Every structure is written in structure tokens, then in C-alpha cells.
Amino acid sequence: MSVEGRKRPFFTAEQVSWILVAPLLIILLFFLFLPMLTLIQVSFWDYNEWTFFPAFIFDNYVYIFTSNVTFATYWKTIQLTLWTWFFCTVIGFTVAYFLAFHVRSLTWQIALFLLCTIPFWTSNIIRMISWIPFLGRNGIANSALLEVGLIDAPLEWLLFSDFAVVLAFVHLFTLFMVVPVFNTMMRIDKSLIEAARDAGASGFRILIEVILPLAKPGIMIGSIFVVTLVMGDFITVRFMSGGQSTSVGRVISNEIALLQYPAAAANAVVLLATVTLIIAVMVRYVDIRKEL
């Protein structure tokens, strides 16, 4: 085809780029940046017992940073996050490792992987509530343990405790660790494992020296999921702790219930900043770009 014969393109290359980016840009603009700006704006507003109104005051922030409750709440939230992260990582890594390196056929890998996702076909709330009859004082767990004779009296800490909260979190969020770790592991060249074995590495050394370092980006992506999900949660903490434990998310949800929107907004901004900071620190140590 001759050059003269070609029609001049309707859009320039730069315009085409903008058009292609536009849908995502619009979505992010309206559903992320705009709400976030509103949030920040409202966090400086004032409120009383029955309404809130435009202003530019720092009281909301001053209250957050001077209240002992804030630090206690953040400490509690971070504790819950750390425990959940720990168990999600250990379980998630193990499951992914099993799927990627011990299940030989692709068919079985896919089948077992889908099996892992089945719990996700029901809603979070239902899955959470299902734990209650299981863990309760006269629940299945306690009855079984009593029957077997391992305990003399029902274990009180099974339900409505931090244990129950972490258990529910782990149940809800482990898959978010399994998926990215499995994905990274599947990309590990199997000949690397053989090369390590050729070099004299035992199965355990291969795990520590080769698989773990190469799975790090996947672990990091999973960690980001788990940390953000747990840090922002309010419903699991309320249900599973029976209202006895607290988290930043719960504080915000309570403030919203009391129509203290500016206070809730300020809390949300601080939480957002904290989570962003945590993630920034995390990605500093592991390069996740090659996974994206």
C-alpha cells in the first residue's frame, strides 16, 4: 500500500492514548479521587448533636491525636492485622506450595484451586455467622472436645474473643494470599528446582533458598490485600468479638451511626494515611512490579 494512498488518521497518536485511558480515568476520578477529596473536605467540618456543617477546623484531628482511645484502637487493630497476616501467610504459602509443586497434573491443580474458592461463593457475613454455632459455649467445637474428654468445661475464649476475630479473618482472607502466591510459584521455572537439587539442596533448602525468595513478590501482594482488608474491617470485629473488641473501622462506623460525619471522615483520613504508609514501607522491600 502506498503512503499517499493511506488516509490521514482521524486522531493523532496522543489523542488515541487519551481516549484509551479515559474510561479508567473517569472511573478513578468519580469513584476514587472525588469521594476522597470530599472525605478530606468533610474532615475539617464541624458538627453538633444533630447535624454537621461546613467549617474549617482542626478539632477533629486534634481530638484523634490527643485521645488515648485512638492509640489503643490502632494498637488493637495492628495486633489483629499482624496475627491475621501471620496465619494467612503461613496457610496461604503452604496451600500455594502444595498446589504448585506437589500436585503434578494441571487438571488437578485447577480442580483443587477451584475447591479453595468455593467458600467465596457465599457472602462474608454468612461465612462469619456460621462460626457462631460452631464456636459457641454449647457449640460443636466445645461439645466435641467435652465428649472426647480433652476439656472439663466449655472453652470461653472460642467465641466473642480476639481468637474468634482472627479465626474469622483468616477464614475470610487466606485466599487473597493463596492466589498471588500460587501465581508467582507457577511462574518459577521447574528447572530451577532441579538445578538446586543437582547442586545438592534438600527439599527444605530448596524451599528456603529458591522458592521462598522467588515467591516474595506474591507474598507481598497477598500481604497488601490482607493488611488493607483487615485494617479497614469493622463488621467482622463486631460480630466475632461480640462487641468486646474494637478496631479503627468500628470507631468510624460508630461515629457514622452517631451522625458525627466530620469526626468519622477525619478518622478515615488518618486510617487511609496509616495504611498507605504501611504499604509504602512494604513495597520498599520487595519489588512487586514484575508481578503486575
User: d(Cα 109, Cα 89) in Å, to the nearest integer?
Assistant: 20
Asked if residues 226 and 176 have their Cβ atoms less than 8 Å apart, the reply is yes
Among positions 26, 140, 199, 277, the unique one binding other proteins when judged by CB under 8 A: 199
Among positions 26, 192, 258, 273, the unique one binding other proteins when judged by CB under 8 A: 192
105 is a contact residue toward other proteins (CB under 8 A): no
User: d(Cα 22, Cα 16) in Å, to the nearest integer?
Assistant: 10
172 Cβ partners below 8 Å, 6+ apart? 124, 127, 128, 229, 236
Q: Which stretch binds other proteins (CB under 8 A): 1-9, 146-154, 200-208, 219-227?
A: 200-208
The minimum distance between CB 223 and other proteins, in angstroms, equals 18
Asked if residues 222 and 87 have their Cβ atoms less than 8 Å apart, the reply is no
Nearest Cα residue to 81 out of 180, 221, 224: 224
Quick check: helix, strand or coil at residue 111? helix
Three cell numbers at 88?
A: 494467612
Residue 187 DSSP class: T
The minimum distance between CB 202 and other proteins, in angstroms, equals 8
Asked if residues 239 and 223 have their Cβ atoms less than 8 Å apart, the reply is no
The minimum distance between CB 214 and other proteins, in angstroms, equals 6
> Among residues 125 and 208, whose Cβ is nearest to other proteins?
208
- AA identity, residue 249: G
Q: Map the footprint of other proteins across residues 204-233, applying CB under 8 A.
A: 205, 209-210, 213-214
Q: Which stretch binds other proteins (CB under 8 A): 33-41, 107-115, 140-148, 201-209?
A: 201-209
> Among residues 127 and 187, whose Cβ is nearest to other proteins?
187
User: d(Cα 232, Cα 24) in Å, to the nearest integer?
Assistant: 24
Among positions 26, 125, 140, 195, the unique one binding other proteins when judged by CB under 8 A: 195
CA of 149: how far to CAs of 133, 141, 143, 146, in Å? 20, 12, 10, 5
287 is a contact residue toward other proteins (CB under 8 A): no
200 is a contact residue toward other proteins (CB under 8 A): yes
> Among residues 10 and 204, whose Cβ is nearest to other proteins?
204
The minimum distance between CB 196 and other proteins, in angstroms, equals 7
How many residues sit close enough to other proteins to count as binding (CB under 8 A)?
Answer: 16
Binding residues vs other proteins (CB under 8 A): 189, 191-192, 194-201, 205, 209-210, 213-214
